[in-house]
Amino acid sequence: MDKKTPAKLKQAYPQARRAEPKPSRAEAEAAVRTLIQWAGDDPDREGLVDTPSRVVRAYEEFFAGYEVDAVDLLSRTFEETDGYDEMIVLRDIRFSSHCEHHMVPIIGKVHVGYLPKKRVVGISKIARLVEAFARRLQIQEKLTAQIANTIDEVLDPEGVGVVVEAAHQCMTTRGVRKPGATLVTSRMLGSFRADPATRREFLSMIGNPASGQLSNV
């Protein structure tokens, strides 16, 4: 991690948070077998006998973000921009995450914009930053704030804007069962919060010119 990274951010977004040792793969697979039995099926029947190992491998992909240092992703920046000082926007970054309340998918897209002060970062790093936080147990409000706060602290831009639009299967496939509903959240920092013109420009660029209705976290 970059030595210049603010201590506040290092504490807020560590690479992983584990209160106790990580269970073994065998223990994780045994837990999946228990859930299959609890659901009412036989984990030893042909169609399910390999399911515990498949689920554990899938979880390694779903929650790979715990093994990524999100702050370090932005540590390599570029100052040779020939004085470029206009807004930088990367929109429609597709992501899939999992609700920390029910462990079911959250699927949507993220729009990220920032107004550089001195430094810019490679655009792939912004997409990787989204992935690092998305591939953890999440709520959308926290995901939105984590992405914006990390960019703001590490790059120190004039301002940052993040908008997330996503469908939550915890309410589309269970509970209230409202398919097609989309949650929209935003985080505006610096000039994106203080200057209405900057905010409008960003929202217009991502296709949400009338987003005064956004939930700003």
Query: In Å, what is the CA distance from 122 to each residue of 55, 95, 96, 198?
Result: 34, 19, 22, 22
**Of the candidates 193, 198, 204, the residue with the CA atom closest to the CA atom of residue 111:** 204
Given 37, 60, 67, 101, the catalytic residue: 101
Is the separation of the CB atoms in 98 and 65 below 8 Å?
Answer: no
Given 15, 141, 169, 170, the catalytic residue: 170
Q: How many CA atoms lie within 13 A of 116 on its CB side?
A: 17
Given 15, 102, 141, 169, the catalytic residue: 102
Given 111, 131, 140, 153, the catalytic residue: 140
Given its phi and psi angles, is residue 70 left (phi above 0), alpha (psi -120 to 50 degrees) or beta? alpha
Annotated catalytic residue 102: yes
Given 27, 60, 67, 100, the catalytic residue: 100
Annotated catalytic residue 168: yes
DSSP reduced 3-state for 83: coil
Given 111, 138, 146, 168, the catalytic residue: 168
Report the DSSP pairing between strands 183-190 and 137-138: unpaired
Annotated catalytic residue 170: yes
Q: Exposed, middle or buried: residue 83 (CB in 10 Å: 0-12, 13-18, 19+)?
A: exposed
Annotated catalytic residue 100: yes
Given 15, 99, 141, 169, the catalytic residue: 99
Annotated catalytic residue 99: yes
Instruction: Return the active site residues.
Output: 99-102, 140, 168, 170
